[in-house]
Structure 1
């Protein structure tokens, strides 16, 4: 789980999870699409099949206010502009027209650039509040294209240089100095580009692009070297045209529906994802839910044919003796696995998970360790438990004085002295137990191996303290089976060391039997434990996460930080307090602290050495139990 120190520093960069969630909410509101997800890529783009919109990394490494405004402009442009006002049909037809043209990339990206200009103006007029973000965008993008214009022209990348020139013309007008000596009818090309201010649709812009291409295709032979726009890459005939077969009538005619906007494409793919939730979307959407086969592809039977192969199903009927013990064990294991589905977040759609008790190792070594560690921790636990019990007793014995009704106090001078005497009091009702419940998640990834014993000591102390205070708690490790994880299936395991049903049972040996495995999927584990805590009736619910770095699992390294932050916010919103303890063998760096703060907010603690794991655990428990005592 520890983050690798990559050899290039910018490979370690991550966007602030809180900011990314803010942009995501803005995008969802503007698009009226609560299912939208947001990420960051090289160029801003839309991915309908994944339900994702992406910000551009172009805005990084700038002052915070510039970066914020630039990213907002990406969100505004995609969700309030391209989302509803970019014609998919015109785009598909345009791409088909220039499919085999030597300047294909240039034609496509020029149309997207013209549409960006049109939609920025449209959104700004419709929503004046976006003006500042778009002003920053124009300023930064103009500076970028001015810098690239001379560089590309000098290198002989004339198509790229023309792309830069057209952007400058669109936003500054045709009378601006071109900086380079063109061997093109540049004035006429700029004049055509200036007509973009009057264009009202994607079709109008496509017509202007056709006129520009007609003027240069005999002069410029080489296509674009660099890519400037990626927003149209994922919008093709495959994503825009769907074939539905709903019943016989539709099945016979093969009804085809062409989507007109990006919004319609996103919503269609989202509906199909929700209803099917599988990998069928890698193919054309062909459904036959209500249709009947006409038998045209049937093969005539032959009663004289020889039987070449026999097979048996996985029934556990009278013929179950055919199965080997290994086959039966594998089948039982599959039946115990649960599908995460969309209940645990979009990142975990293909996760299957298993909840099982940790296999207790009752050897002499574990027994000796348990006795030795408890003897070492005994003074700390005794003093801590005594402190908590005294605080509980003080709370129980405390009484509320100066009330207008209740029991009469022995001090009646208030009747003579006070203008409005309040001589009554009431005792607080004693509580049999603390109204709190705890869940502890322990990172089970391979990176925990070098600090395994110290982690077990901290978990053991956590267990012994809560057990003596009769506080309900559950302890589980979590990991992903990296050896069997694929794009379609990511098996995860929760190894339960102590459950709510165990009450005050001593599970010390179970804790010492915990071992490390492979990867970790933190957001998924937090949502899983949150559900278990929400099923409890206690007033105070605490979820502790013991880990040693950032999430790492199949297809999860890119969005793991954001997903973890989102899971923490979801838990807090539902009344579960999430606290993180960073388990490290050395003092965490500033970058690591910033990362934990990004994922867990201000409820993240760190130890500067493995020896301090138990001290930090005591400190966290003291604070949380203090909250529960009140």
Structure 2
């Protein structure tokens, strides 16, 4: 079961995901809101804890960013996943496995905080806030666990409080009684572990794991804790790290090596072919379409694998474009092969993120567009549409008159002696007039609306009780724009759930009318009655497809209207659908398309529905509480948009 109230803001989620991709260097990294924060390098997933969801917005944003810092800078680069897996196998044989697992997770988080401060000093203020909030949180948890007699959880909470407050265990009230009961060298071992963590003595996950094993070996035969830990505050998984962790002493940029897009292997040549005189190294390659800084580097960095017997680079040439900028006029007498540097960087370090993003979003890789033209309407469709048209005719006439009057006023308005525009040559009046009108407008106003509209209608199953009223709004949209000679397109969209397979997800686009026939075909009105409730809806994909078609129009201004009754829902599209739709909306707006949503309610709009529409479309959303009032709501919206396009 999924609760809408617990969904993260789409803009915030996109911000966190971009930050996580930048820090980890993984282009196809996923991000989710989970109970605990963790990183899984096998699934390429970074989770942000819901711990911060109930704090004020400023603290919430900073706290979630610290989760990304610790996992993106720390776990994905410096945590040894093989050590973690070995440690998790070891704790299966002891009496306190849950406590031991969380103990190592807590200590590793403290070690990663120091690494974050070393590599990203700008995270200091955020991590300081995180420590203060966690210290206060675990202080309360320690007291509550002590009152309930949960000694293992009280010990873990007290140790966490000491770490985040940067204090000794003796300074914690109510914990000394429990520490005094610890057997043998257990308390000195905990105190030494705390001191070494503060002094950044642990250089690897292996060292931390060995110390934790030694500590819980001392506690294994003692029954004073009354059982294992019950609460879970920290997450530790077998894949919580990387197979090739960096060393503590590593200093440099955290960037991953790019993988070749093509796995083809070039054949070995029997005889080396010497380049002819005047031949140049090609500077374009299918792997390097994206332009990047190439100073002191060749443009072609990837491609097919070559069976070279050496890792040496080729000889430099005075005509090489990449080296010509810095080579100068002087050259060496003998062009020997350049020597390799003494210290080689790690193989995993290279140029970072440069992969080509999916044009339709990562969640829509299986989506396949299926365009379905409208069928010729029958006589009954004409009769029903004529009755519908009679109800909206007054609104159409009023809207048409308003637009025509506005255009006429602009046409007859004076074109000279204005306060803004082009500067005229008659500047004498500037000498005696306090507010001289020295400007004029050269071009005459247009007699037509230079805009193209596209209307997307959500034909999901949830629209079954709203589609009849929605036809009125669609008809008002069509007839108004047709009267003003504005080209427009009407498309109903849904995903055919019965045809979804592991490799494809057919998305049907029912094209009622295109931009050309919208002004010439008299049967468009009856055709729109063919739009009915169908199955699922993949809004982000539909918006991308409609935007592509809209961008082909020559009009100066482009508008996309989306009729929907809620959040998107399709196969493998439930959790991330809101974020994907928001990304599609932002991409369309960056392309110059004005995207507006018309939300159709069932009498009362819930706060969760308002929040969902705000997350996706921002302030460009019109909420219609009762779908029966759609014409009253859509009329002013059309008038406002058309007047803004004049």
User: TM-score when scaled to structure 2?
Assistant: 0.74
**Relative to 1, partners in 2 of residues 1:230 and 1:83: Cα closer, same or farther, differing over 3 Å?**
same
**Relative to 1, partners in 2 of residues 1:406 and 1:271: Cα closer, same or farther, differing over 3 Å?**
closer
- Match in the other structure for 1:327: none
Deviations 1:134-153 (A, max 9, x none): 23322332333334445556
The secondary structure found in structure 2 opposite 1:54 is: strand
Deviations 1:451-490 (A, max 9, x none): 1111011001101111222212111111122344456543
Q: Calculate the aligned-residue CA RMSD, in Å.
A: 3.8
Structure-1 separation of matches of 2:255 and 2:430: 74
Structure-2 separation of matches of 1:233 and 1:466: 60
- Match in the other structure for 1:305: none
- Match in the other structure for 2:75: 82
- How far off is 1:227 after superposition? 3.1
- Match in the other structure for 1:60: 53
Trace 1:4-15 onto structure 2 (pairs within 5 A).
Answer: 12-15=5-8
- Match in the other structure for 2:108: 115
- Match in the other structure for 2:233: 228
The secondary structure found in structure 2 opposite 1:343 is: coil
- Match in the other structure for 1:170: 163
- How far off is 1:226 after superposition? 3.7
Structure 1 residue 346 corresponds to structure 2 residue 349: no
Could you tell me whether the CA contact under 8 Å between 1:360 and 1:513 is conserved in 2? no
Could you tell me whether the CA contact under 8 Å between 2:134 and 2:161 is conserved in 1? no
Structure-2 separation of matches of 1:508 and 1:551: 27
- How far off is 1:30 after superposition? 3.6
Structure-2 separation of matches of 1:358 and 1:219: 77
Structure-2 separation of matches of 1:342 and 1:579: 24
Deviations 1:541-586 (A, max 9, x none): 1111111112222232222222222221221122111101111231
- How far off is 1:605 after superposition? 0.9
- How far off is 1:432 after superposition? 5.5
Q: Which structure carries more helix by proportion?
A: 1
- How far off is 1:438 after superposition? 0.9
Deviations 1:20-71 (A, max 9, x none): 2233333344445554443211111224355432211111222333323321
Could you tell me whether the CA contact under 8 Å between 2:136 and 2:161 is conserved in 1? no
Structure 1 residue 478 corresponds to structure 2 residue 493: yes
* Structure 2: gaps of 5 or more residues: 264-303, 307-356
Structure 1 residue 356 corresponds to structure 2 residue 372: yes
- Match in the other structure for 2:593: 576
Structure 1 residue 454 corresponds to structure 2 residue 469: yes
1:400 aligns with one of 403, 408, 415: 415
- How far off is 1:440 after superposition? 0.9
**Relative to 1, partners in 2 of residues 1:483 and 1:161: Cα closer, same or farther, differing over 3 Å?**
farther
- How far off is 1:390 after superposition? 2.6
Structure 1 residue 260 corresponds to structure 2 residue 264: no
Trace 1:47-196 onto structure 2 (pairs within 5 A).
Answer: 47-95=40-88, 98=91, 103-149=96-142, 151-152=144-145, 158-171=151-164, 172-177=167-172, 178=175, 180-181=177-178, 183-185=181-183, 186-194=186-194, 195-196=196-197
- Which region of structure 1 is more displaced relative to structure 2, 103-112 or 458-467? 103-112
Structure 1 residue 544 corresponds to structure 2 residue 561: yes
**Relative to 1, partners in 2 of residues 1:39 and 1:613: Cα closer, same or farther, differing over 3 Å?**
same
Deviations 1:387-440 (A, max 9, x none): 21232233344453148999999x999699779998895553353532211111
- Match in the other structure for 1:588: 605
Deviations 1:518-544 (A, max 9, x none): 121212211221222122222211111
- How far off is 1:511 after superposition? 0.4
The secondary structure found in structure 1 opposite 2:466 is: helix
Could you tell me whether the CA contact under 8 Å between 1:356 and 1:494 is conserved in 2? yes
Deviations 1:361-396 (A, max 9, x none): 5252x2221111112222211221122123223334
Could you tell me whether the CA contact under 8 Å between 1:89 and 1:259 is conserved in 2? no
Structure-2 separation of matches of 1:193 and 1:534: 62
Structure-1 separation of matches of 2:437 and 2:144: 85
- How far off is 1:603 after superposition? 0.7
Structure-2 separation of matches of 1:145 and 1:538: 60
Deviations 1:494-539 (A, max 9, x none): 1111112424123112101111011212122112212221222222
- How far off is 1:117 after superposition? 0.7
Could you tell me whether the CA contact under 8 Å between 1:478 and 1:525 is conserved in 2? yes
Structure-1 separation of matches of 2:430 and 2:96: 97
Structure-1 separation of matches of 2:527 and 2:505: 26
Structure-2 separation of matches of 1:376 and 1:405: 44
Structure-2 separation of matches of 1:28 and 1:613: 42
- Which region of structure 1 is more displaced relative to structure 2, 581-590 or 472-481? 581-590
